[in-house]
Structure 1
Amino acid sequence: MRKIGVVTGTRADFGLLSRSILLLQKHASVETVVFACGTHLSPEYGYTINELTENGIENIIPIEMLLSSTTRVGIAKSTGLATISFADAFNSQQLDCLLILGDRFEIFAAAQAALFLGIPIAHIHGGEITEGAFDEALRHSISKMASIHFPATDAFAKRLMQLGEQPSQIFVTGAPGIDNILNANNFDNIDLTSVLKFKNQNAPLFLVTYHPVTNGLPRENDITPLLSVIKERKDINFLVTYPNADGDGAKMISQWLELTNMNNVSICPSLGFKRYLAVMKQAACVMGNSSSGLIEAPSFKIPIINIGTRQQGRPKSCSVIDTIMEASSLNLAVDQALDNDFISLCKKALNPYGEGNSSEKIVQVLSETKFDTLIPKQFYNLD
């Protein structure tokens, strides 16, 4: 019996990991422990650790690590606290492998702790580029600490080889977030009345998620232009979810709350991944700078308005409209998203992140790999 730990720090990464976790916990030769940290334990962001148990996840260990400060100093201190907490938790569990996803600072902390404890790391979504966030550097750093890689595309796999990672330990799986779309046939049965409470139910629905930009232009974190467009566009219903806990996230929340009295705006701290996808299925457009707009939304064949530089460098479907945080540009993007010709184009869009079944591929590799042969690892020279 092999023991695999999984770390989740936000509602977003749990949505991507959930199917892999459930498949691991059902596997006869695998024992799985789930470490929940970050905003999962924050009341301000919806205390989403409850979502794990509601979705059938077992063996959950809370890891307290998030300070109330969201400044760069606060994030640096939270990362240090997380590393200490993960080191104690991982050591007590005697893990054979740690499965992590993405590029956030709490995932970086978990990878550091596992590296120092000699625990092999399996990393999902490595090799990608997001030039508008310091997550870019964290992701590549995590890749260098990891021994098993599950990139979403062949291009990302090649980038991992450029970093010196062994081709034999790189498994192109596609994006696991697409699995949720293919395996959640009951979207229509999910009750959304508490969040889709609009006066005009017939207006098109825009799903909006905008996160702080931590490595781009400072003006991108002033969402005043986006708010002004929403105030102006009474012909559209907007469902807004909270940003993550980085940088100016708290300031953005206070700005969003200015719209609470509008009949065409609904603000929800966290939808949870099932309700999020259920809303996305009903939406006329996904708007903001979340990776979900580029990775999952194309599978719903709807327009996506991608604002600013946060996702710069990622491959994009033809359904993505790039724009800047400026009112006139945002209005033009909204008009394009509502244009019938563009909507027809989106119906033909292909998702560059794959066609699903990523979780099955990930679980198969983790259930068969001989972890004791992975450390130390050699540098691969790409000719």
Structure 2
Amino acid sequence: MKKLVYFLTGIRSEYDILAPVIEAVSATPELEAGVIVTGAHLTQIHENSVRQIENDGHRIVARIDSLLASDGLSGRVKGAALQLTGMSDLFARERPNFIVVMGDREESITGALAGVYHHIPVVHIGGGDHADDGNVDNPIRHAVSKIAHLHMATTPLSGQRLRALGEEDWRIHVVGASGLDRLFSTPQLGRNDLEAALGVDWNGAPYVVLLYHPTITDFDDAGVHIASITKVLEETRLHVAIMMPNSDPGNQAIVGELNSFAQRCGRVKLFRFLDRLVFVNMLRHANALVGNSSAGILEAPSLGLPVVNIGLRQRGREHAGNVIFTDYSREEIRNAIVKSVFDQAYREHASAVTNPYGDGTTGRKIAEILANTEVNKKLMHKNFLM
């Protein structure tokens, strides 16, 4: 009998990273994959990104509505409660052999809690990672690691942190970042084909991608912060492709400023959702990635893409030499963007960095580990190492 492996996802960016693992599990004879869909995937505000999961042909085992129309701190907590209720009902009806959660969003902690209380082994992708940004993501990620029964760490350093948390060596597997699987497997589009897919006519001119998310530590200032960034981008006269932010508190102020930016500047194109083929190639042809997305840390090094990371988010996180970190000073942001786009020596340096997050074979590694892992008392009984 095949082992059932359920994956939990609540937002497009998370699913893009999980997708190669789901595909690898589906292709493994001993395993069967299912997807629990929740959060932003099920809302028109985020273009109903569940359709990408449907188009990929994966079996959706549950749809849990949980995203509240709130831009404050309580909305995320109440949404997490809805996720817990939905998963508890699901697991009472059908029990997978594994529940897989990723990273540090609320889905990771709700999936881990629902799994452990239903005595289902929890598999955590991305545990042991850490940033010095003070964001809630870090304690959530480490809390999930203490609940999880198997760890799929992205780097050896993350594996060391998991051991420091008291996790047993045999539970820890260093597999790399699965987002790289997607990069290496996505076909190449030429610049003309990309512009046609994006609906722009930039004639091969330089452009940057802006991908900026709010953080809980300073969500009240999200509007001020994004305004500093858009002002600089407007002054540089570069073309700008913008992906809308995630659903975290503070996102409405960011969305409002981005819409205003697009209205007053003809060089700007806004996107709420892009097909994976188009999104990856948009990064491939970009001159720089600006903002604070984890894509700048995890995937951009493999593209040789310079990154300007603004604000606290991602600070202190393990990264390659293609990232310039700045605060919200317009002068500092401007200098970093100019260097990333126009300094040829720096661009050559960024194009030659080594990505510490693996080689694009993560999905296969995780599928093999799950296929060979016996669900027994040893797996479920967690010890703490001193």
**Shorter-chain TM-score tier:** over 0.9
Name the counterpart of 1:315: 318
Name the counterpart of 1:348: 352
Q: Is 1:365 the equivalent of 2:366?
A: no
- What is the Cα deviation at residue 58 of structure 1? 2.5
Superimposed CA distance per residue, residues 304-345 of structure 1 (whole angstroms, 9 cap, x where no aligned partner):
111111101211211111111221111111111121111111
Question: Counterparts of 1:96-245 in structure 2 under 5 Å?
Answer: 96-132=97-133, 133-188=135-190, 192-193=194-195, 196-215=198-217, 219=221, 222=224, 223-234=226-237, 236-245=238-247
Name the counterpart of 2:268: 265
* Aligned-partner Cα distance in 1 for 2:130–2:223: 20
Which one-letter code corresponds to 2:234 in the other structure? Answer: K
Which one-letter code corresponds to 1:73 in the other structure? Answer: S
Say whether the 8 Å CA contact 1:65–1:85 is kept in structure 2: no
**Which of 278, 298, 302 is equivalent to 1:275?**
278
How many residues are treated as equivalent by the alignment? 380
Let me know the Cα RMSD of the aligned residues.
1.8
Name the counterpart of 2:291: 288
Superimposed CA distance per residue, residues 252-295 of structure 1 (whole angstroms, 9 cap, x where no aligned partner):
11110002232210000122433221110111111110000110
Instruction: Summarize the Cα distance change of 1:375–1:69 in structure 2 as closer, same or farther, 3 Å threshold.
Output: same
Deviates more, 1:57-66 or 1:236-245: 57-66
- What is the Cα deviation at residue 191 of structure 1? 5.5
Task: Report the secondary structure of 2:355's partner residue.
Answer: coil
Q: Is 1:375 the equivalent of 2:380?
A: yes
Say whether the 8 Å CA contact 1:199–1:264 is kept in structure 2: no
Say whether the 8 Å CA contact 2:177–2:298 is kept in structure 1: yes
- What is the Cα deviation at residue 221 of structure 1? 5.4
* Aligned-partner Cα distance in 1 for 2:34–2:219: 39
Say whether the 8 Å CA contact 1:216–1:309 is kept in structure 2: no
Instruction: Summarize the Cα distance change of 1:348–1:362 in structure 2 as closer, same or farther, 3 Å threshold.
Output: same
* Aligned-partner Cα distance in 1 for 2:196–2:40: 22
Task: Report the secondary structure of 2:198's partner residue.
Answer: coil
TM-score (ref. length: structure 1) = 0.95
* Aligned-partner Cα distance in 1 for 2:223–2:119: 39
Name the counterpart of 2:88: 87
* Aligned-partner Cα distance in 1 for 2:196–2:138: 36
* Aligned-partner Cα distance in 2 for 1:90–1:56: 22
Q: Is 1:42 the equivalent of 2:46?
A: no
Which one-letter code corresponds to 1:321 in the other structure? Answer: I
Superimposed CA distance per residue, residues 197-219 of structure 1 (whole angstroms, 9 cap, x where no aligned partner):
44542321101100001135854
Deviates more, 1:216-225 or 1:129-138: 216-225
Superimposed CA distance per residue, residues 124-163 of structure 1 (whole angstroms, 9 cap, x where no aligned partner):
0000113332111110011011000001111100100111
Superimposed CA distance per residue, residues 104-138 of structure 1 (whole angstroms, 9 cap, x where no aligned partner):
01221111111111111010000011333211111
Say whether the 8 Å CA contact 1:111–1:121 is kept in structure 2: yes
Task: Report the secondary structure of 1:99's partner residue.
Answer: strand
Which one-letter code corresponds to 1:210 in the other structure? Answer: Y
Say whether the 8 Å CA contact 2:191–2:204 is kept in structure 1: no
Task: Report the secondary structure of 1:351's partner residue.
Answer: coil
Identity of aligned residues (%): 27
* Aligned-partner Cα distance in 1 for 2:160–2:111: 25
Name the counterpart of 2:10: 9
Deviates more, 1:217-226 or 1:151-160: 217-226
Which one-letter code corresponds to 1:251 in the other structure? Answer: A
* Aligned-partner Cα distance in 1 for 2:142–2:370: 21
Q: Is 1:70 the equivalent of 2:74?
A: no
Gaps (5+ residues) in structure 2?
Answer: none
Gaps (5+ residues) in structure 1?
Answer: none
TM-score (ref. length: structure 2) = 0.94
* Aligned-partner Cα distance in 2 for 1:60–1:22: 16
* Aligned-partner Cα distance in 1 for 2:218–2:149: 30
Task: Report the secondary structure of 1:128's partner residue.
Answer: coil
Task: Report the secondary structure of 2:173's partner residue.
Answer: coil
* Aligned-partner Cα distance in 1 for 2:118–2:249: 30
